[in-house]
Structure 1
Amino acid sequence: MSVRHFLTLNDFRPEELQRIIERAVELKDAHRNGQLTPTLQGRTLAMLFEKASTRTRVSFEAGMAQLGGHALFLAPGDTQLGRGETIEDTARVISRMVDAVMIRNHSQALLERFAEYSRVPVINALTDRFHPCQLMADMQTWIEARGRIAGCTAAWVGDGNNMCQSYIHAARQFGFSLRIATPPGYEPDADIVDRGGAAVRLGNDPAAAVDGVDLVITDTWTSMGGDHERDQRLADFRAFQVNAALMARAAPDALFMHCLPAHRGEEVTDEVIDGPQSLVWEEAENRLHVQKALLEFLIRPVTERG
């Protein structure tokens, strides 16, 4: 059987994504009840980080420990990849020693090259184009709060970045409508929007995008490594802040999400992120549980999955 990778949400069928989320809820309940789930005992995850992160490292490392396995943290200077070894050679070597590889880096193309030469599953923990693990946590959070999300409507307000592009994939895979509002020139990739089809509506008016929706999502206006653009972005995005006035245009029971870290007072106000409609802390915790379910799905033999 060929190796399965998780490079985008589109690598799995909708029913597989749903099954992973259902398992994540089970693992979350078990963890909160103090029940041990050592389903990956003796298994090892290599974690390759080109971009730093709090939530990604803690959630994957803690997740493997809770499943009875082990995680190896590898910063750029810890591997020969940082000294000129080819992606292909690094993939060939590392994948002979571990059971899965998690990569958080700047380039989706590099991730795909690594996966092509890997003998074990490769997980996208964030690239310049997509952030599928975060979307799985978001979908788990939405389902836990509202049950069924098919047929609902979400609004993305802000930069058409990797999170936005993964939300486009999620809209198709989970059956909800997505309205996107970005400043002119900050839209997501046109080909990704086109493949979103009728599920996606793109515009430049945050008020119109949020009107009556069930979920409002945003992200930082300046991504890691983009400090040289900060002043220009602050000016361009000023009208795209998610504040109480904007949230009031959504449905009365609308939810708010943000993948964190948040730049409070920029893309979101304290009143919203700390308010009763915000699920950001549950969303952050769910990275742990849904990634455990994903690791189980990819690493455990098919006969053990049930």
Structure 2
Amino acid sequence: ALKHKKQHHLPHPFLKGKNIALIFEKPSTRTRAAFSVAAHDLGAHVDYYEKGDIHLGVKESIADTAQVFGRMYDGIEFRGYHQSDVEELSQHSGVPVWNGLTNEWHPTQMIADFMTIKEHFGALENRTLTYVGDASNNVAHDLLVTGAILGVNIHIAAPENLQPHPDVQTIAHQYAEQSGGNIMITENVQQAVYHTDILYTDVWVSMGTDESEWGTRIENMLPYQINDTLLVQADNPDLIVMHCLPAFHNLE
């Protein structure tokens, strides 16, 4: 309904009179744009705070910042480093807190991705999503766990040293047992992509990776590149390719 209203330029100020704080310790293009545009479309006012604007956890405790913002704002978006920080904001603010990304997770990306998959295919049931590349990052972790919760089959192809953290794998397997989803984690990219419905990848070099490691990382990741050969190996004419961006063209 909201998408229809936006596409047809119909007003939908369901959050008129509300104020939302956007706290960005890490820079962003899509996350900031998405939250800002969505809030304005819904009639809310947005204030943007980057790392140098406030003293979050440095000169002022996260709990104190949360309590102050909770009195002034109706909701808080946080994009930063530590999962514990966003959880502490939620604990002490008394208002909704949205996780725009932490080192560990990226849940708002998951909402967008799985809504897109459902919209494209009509349903999530019996679909297989295969992630290829660096699977040690927050997006891969969240795809694995969210897919398991939703009953989507999740295949991951990555070098052994870049596979999801064992704790994350344990969480995902527990959810998959309940939902009926299938999980495959392997170094064998051909096995992982066969008959998949969605091929998903991310940057091979994440924010914070030392530049001296880039060359070796890229060389090790080349077998996991999404290219014409990999699409043929998937053997599914209805396959779609997804990337959370930003992307290095002609690499991943």
- TM-score of the superposition, structure 1-length normalised? 0.76
- Establish whether residue 182 from structure 1 lines up as the match of residue 158 from structure 2: yes
Pairwise CA distance, 1:131: 0.7
Match of 2:230 in 1: 246
Aligned-pair identity in percent equals 36
2:196 counterpart of 1:213 = yes
Shift of 1:155: 0.3
Taking the aligned partners of 1:51 and 1:98, their CA distance within structure 2 comes to 21
Amino acid at match of 2:15: L
Name which of 179, 184, 200 aligns with 1:201.
184
Where structure 1 has 5 or more consecutive residues not aligned to the other structure, the ranges are: 1-25, 268-306
Contact 1:104 1:124 in 2 (8 A): yes
After TM superposition, the runs of 4+ consecutive aligned structure 1 residues lying more than 2 A away are none
Query: Do 2:198 and 2:239's aligned partners in 1 also have CA atoms closer than 8 Å?
Result: yes
Q: For residues 90 and 169 of structure 2, what CA distance do their matches in structure 1 show? A: 25
User: Which residues of 2 match residues 12-23 of structure 1 at below 5 A?
Assistant: none
2:80 to 97, 102, 105: 105
The corresponding residue for 1:4 is none
**Alignment check: 8 A CA contact 2:149 2:172 kept:** no
Gaps of 5+ in 2: 177-181
> Are the equivalent residues in 2 in contact too, given 1:76–1:82 (CA < 8 A)?
no
Are positions 1:45 and 2:20 aligned together?
A: yes
- Computed over aligned residues only, the root mean square deviation of the Cα atoms, in angstroms, reads 1.3
Distance 1:222 1:38 in 2: 40
In terms of fraction of residues, the more strand-rich structure is 2
**Residue number in structure 1 paired with 2:132:** 157
Would you say 1:263 and 2:248 are equivalent positions? yes
Structure ranking higher on relative contact order (CA contacts 8 Å, 6+ apart): 1
Whole-Å separation in 2 of the counterparts to 1:82 and 1:76:
11
Q: How many residues align?
A: 242
Deviations 1:273-297 (A, max 9, x none): xxxxxxxxxxxxxxxxxxxxxxxxx
TM-score, normalising length: structure 2:
0.92
Structure 2: distance between partners of 1:231 and 1:92: 45
Give CA-to-partner distance per residue, 1:122-176, whole Å, 9 cap, x none: 1110111111111111111111111011111110101121111111122122211
Q: 5 Å matches for 1:58-73?
A: 58-73=33-48
